[in-house]
Amino acid sequence: MCGIFGYLGKRDNALEIVIKGLQKLEYRGYDSWGVATDLNGELFSHKKVGKISEANLDDFKDKKVKLAIGHTRWATHGGVTNANAHPHFDPEKQIAVVHNGIIENYQEIREELGKENFVSETDTEVIAHLIAKYRKDYSFKEAVLKAVQRLVGRYAIVVLNVGENYLIAARRGSPLIVGVGEDEAFLASDIPAFLEYTQNVNYLDDNEMVIVNDGVEFLNLETGEPIKKRLVNIDWQAESAEKGEYDHFMLKEIMEQKDCIHRAINQDTDEIMHIAQQIKDSRGCFLSGCGTAGKVCMAGEYFFSIIAKRHVNFAPSSEFPVYHHFLRPESLLIVISQSGETADVLEAMEAAKKKGAKVLSIVNVEGSTIARQSDFSLHIKAGPEKAVASTKAATSQMALLLLIATAMIGELQEGRRILAEVASKINDMLNPRFLTYIKSVAEKIKDQENAYIIGKAENYPMALEAAIKIQEVSYVHAEGFAAGELKHGPIALITEGTPCISFVANDEVKQDVINNTMELKARGAYIIGISPDNHDVFDEWIKVPDVGVASPLVNIVPIQILAYYIAVLRGLDPDMPRNLAKSVTVK
């Protein structure tokens, strides 16, 4: 949430570079945006409510500067206004700060520095005022160090000081990556922001600071001591973070799923076997994640149970710390996260570590905080996921969990074979006819206010996930249920024509789900069946391949497409749903 970007280097169009970089971070927040630079010894800034993708680069062409900072906002403290947009400044307009995170003690600092001196309602403004206060007696570097030592909370900040030809950035709890080019450096919340310029990165860790001038210099935030960092080469191509021929990232990422599953299962055999053994050796194994990643964990619970006959407990990460009573050194926590930066997941990990438990992570962003703070991390290799709604990361994560379950019973090769077949069947399924048919279903239900989804066993989590997909991009009220639960209350919501989606896989619970679907139909529901076989009860039949226990991987794909088309047909932008942001770095 919130994207920050800073540039310093040989090019004299720094403002343009920052704006273009922020446009690639727009998925992190799109309420408002702003930039700042030192223009001939004076602070120049520009802030605007709205999306940074709508910024007009021509407005900045005449400003030849080699250093700039910028921000794209997802509001936490203070409404969506120009005044609350970042960067924030000190009263003398000598210091400019962009920030991603939350400063918990900002009220106290505001009181101390004089509330009347503040022009915004944000927590961030206190950082600029604090730096300015220390700047009276100290160097820029020392002032930043002193200021951040006063902050309680999570932050990634980039700071510029008029008259000083360098940038300083610091992090505690929110992501910050340094892209290192030839005679230039980039400071950003995520890699795609600078991928067209460099693939060489340094990951800033918590309690670290970086000074960017002729080179990059890393320091410990608490002691001010220098730190050596390793330069990492990223194998993402710039195009993989672009929309290409597609209207939206969401559709592009849905279509990429066949390749992603191949990449996800192409893991080092020893690593997979090592993880399988750790799960077997653990006493109390937990799966945890948030939102879609949480539903992936629930599917994992079923995979481990059905395939490996092993009980694993799921808890959403925001709830997981409550489980600390059950944790001990022999426990294992497996966390799942696309971004690798989700604050609730990091908190769950902290709770586990406090009890001496081991933490394994399955993430998409290599080098992310979650990956680096785990005892062991697997990378799903899905490539950059830019749409806010998670699609390809989710199916890749499920593929990996299913693979691990097969490894636990010594059937890793068979697991790979099954999943390769799933990937190839998804490839066949994602043809223009399939998309056109789903679009026609979307046309029929797009004006409905409610939709319900049912599934059982390994497809129960997919009913929950389907609801998230529909809610978040189309704003239709959608709810998922365990198929057998409707008759215990929610069936009262069904009226004539209510769209109900039913996942009917060829498994041992098939007849139960059909029966539950009939109960809905008898109350007037309009039934959309997702199944390898047609059935009289379906009003619409979306045919999916029969892939046995891997059915969640193929079943969720048509719902992703359906959610996408409902959003588009309702005139919404599926890549940037209201109120949301990719990478939720606040609790």
Q: CB 296 → ligand F6R: shortest distance, Å? A: 8
Least distance between ligand F6R and beta carbon 151 (Å): 24
Instruction: Answer yes or no whether residue 342 interacts with ligand F6R by CB under 6 A.
Output: yes
Specify the stretch interacting with ligand F6R by CB under 6 A; choose among 128-136, 245-253, 333-341, 421-429: 333-341
Question: Nearest distance from residue 391's CB to ligand F6R, in Å?
Answer: 8
Q: Which is nearer to ligand F6R, 345 or 476 (CB)?
A: 345
Selected catalytic residue, list 20, 63, 456, 582: 582
Closest CA to 161 of 211, 105, 228, 219: 211
Nearest Cα to Cα of residue 553 among 461, 433, 449, 456: 461
Q: Which is nearer to ligand F6R, 342 or 396 (CB)?
A: 342
Give the three-class secondary structure for 170: strand
Q: Does 338 bind ligand F6R (CB under 6 A)?
A: yes
- Counting contacts by CB under 6 A, is residue 124 touching ligand F6R? no
Determine the Cα–Cα distance for residues 205 and 48; give it in Å rounded to an integer. 31
Q: Which of 6, 461 has the CB closer to ligand F6R?
A: 461
Nearest residue relative to ligand F6R (C-beta): 291
From the CB of 450, what's the least distance to ligand F6R, in Å?
A: 20
The answer to whether the beta carbons of residues 198 and 179 sit under 8 Å apart is: yes
The nearer residue to ligand F6R, 292 or 498, going by C-beta atoms, is: 292
Q: In Å, how far are 194, 209, 441, 513, 577 from 519, measured between CA atoms?
A: 53, 60, 22, 10, 33
Q: With binding defined as CB under 6 A, does residue 315 bind ligand F6R?
A: no
Residue 65 near ligand F6R by CB under 6 A: no
The edge-to-edge listing of strands for the beta sheet with 67-73 is: 42-49, 32-39, 67-73, 3-9, 184-188, 177-181, 200-203, 232-233
Based on CB atoms, which residue is closest to ligand F6R, 37 or 338? 338
What span, in angstroms and rounded, lies between the C-alpha atoms of 370 and 232? 17
Q: Which of 337, 361, 531, 555 binds ligand F6R (CB under 6 A)?
A: 337
Active site residue 582: yes
Cα–Cα distance, 335 to 340 (Å, whole number): 9
- Classify the C-alpha dihedral 520-522-525-526 as positive or negative: positive
HEC readout, 536-549: CCCCEEEECCCCHH
> CB atoms < 10 A from the CB of 532, how many?
16
Phi and psi at 75, nearest 5°, equal: -60, 135
Q: Considering only residues 148 through 177, tell me which ones interact with ligand F6R, judged by CB under 6 A.
A: none
Inter-axis angle of helices 392-408 and 269-281, nearest 10:
70
432 burial (CB, 10 Å; 0-12 / 13-18 / 19+) is exposed
CB of 192 to ligand F6R, least distance (A): 15
Backbone φ and ψ for 150, nearest 5 degrees, come out as: -90, -15
Instruction: Of 480, 540, 544, 493, give the one whose Cα is nearest residue 520.
Output: 493
Per CB under 6 A, contacts with ligand F6R among 272-311 are: 290-293
Q: Does 480 bind ligand F6R (CB under 6 A)?
A: no
Q: Give the end-to-end CA distance of the chain in Å, rounded to a whole number.
A: 11
- Which residue lies nearer to ligand F6R by CB, 125 or 472? 472
Catalytic residue among 2, 260, 285, 297: 2
**Shortest CB 295 distance to ligand F6R, Å:** 8
The least distance separating ligand F6R from the CB of residue 583, rounded to whole angstroms, comes to 6
Smaller CB distance to ligand F6R: residue 199 or 390? 390
Smallest gap from residue 387 Cβ to ligand F6R (A) = 8
Binding status of residue 573 toward ligand F6R by CB under 6 A: no
**Which region, judged by CB under 6 A, interacts with ligand F6R, from 182-190, 253-261, 332-340, 352-360?**
332-340
Cβ-Cβ contacts under 8 Å for 182 (sequence gap 6 or more): 10
Tell me which residues in 377-396 interact with ligand F6R (CB under 6 A): 389-390
Positive or negative torsion for Cα 178, 179, 180, 181: negative
Least distance to ligand F6R, CB of residue 357, Å = 19
Of the candidates 292, 314, 269, the one whose C-alpha atom is nearest the C-alpha of residue 404 is 269
Non-local (6+) Cβ contacts of 451 within 8 A are 445, 467, 470, 476, 477, 478, 479, 498, 499, 500, 501
- Could you write out the DSSP letters of every residue in 337-404? ESSS--HHHHHHHHHHHHTT-EEEEEESSTT-HHHHTSSEEEE-------SSS--HHHHHHHHHHHHH
* Shorter beta-carbon distance to ligand F6R: residue 331 or 583: 583
Q: Which of 169, 177, 185, 345 binds ligand F6R (CB under 6 A)?
A: 345
Pairing of strands 67-73, 42-49: unpaired
**368 lies in the binding site for ligand F6R (CB under 6 A):** no
Q: Among this protein's residues, is 295 annotated catalytic?
A: no
The yes or no reply on residue 468 touching ligand F6R (CB under 6 A) is yes
Cβ-based nearer residue to ligand F6R, 76 or 337: 337
For 342, residues 6+ apart whose C-beta sits below 8 A from its C-beta are 289, 290, 293, 317, 370, 583, 584, 585
Size of the site for ligand F6R (CB under 6 A): 15
Task: Kindly report the number of other CB atoms within 10 A of residue 228's CB atom.
Answer: 5
Residue 472 binds ligand F6R, judged by CB under 6 A: yes
Per CB under 6 A, 253 contacts ligand F6R: no
Site membership for ligand F6R, residue 202 (CB under 6 A): no
Q: From CA 339, how far away is CA 580, in angstroms rounded?
A: 14
Report, in Å, the least distance between residue 528 CB and ligand F6R: 20
Report whether 4 contacts 187 (CB < 8 A): yes
CB of 554 to ligand F6R, least distance (A): 18
Q: Which of 143, 178, 254, 584 binds ligand F6R (CB under 6 A)?
A: 584
Decide whether 15 or 293 has the Cβ nearer to ligand F6R.
Answer: 293
Distance CA 392, CA 524 (A): 34
Pick the stretch among 27-35, 214-222, 254-262, 331-339 that binds ligand F6R (CB under 6 A).
331-339
Q: Is 206 or 421 the residue whose CB approaches ligand F6R more closely?
A: 206
Q: Which sequence positions are flagged as catalytic?
A: 2, 582
Which spans of this chain sit near ligand F6R (rule: CB under 6 A)?
290-293, 337-339, 342, 345, 389-390, 468, 472, 583-584
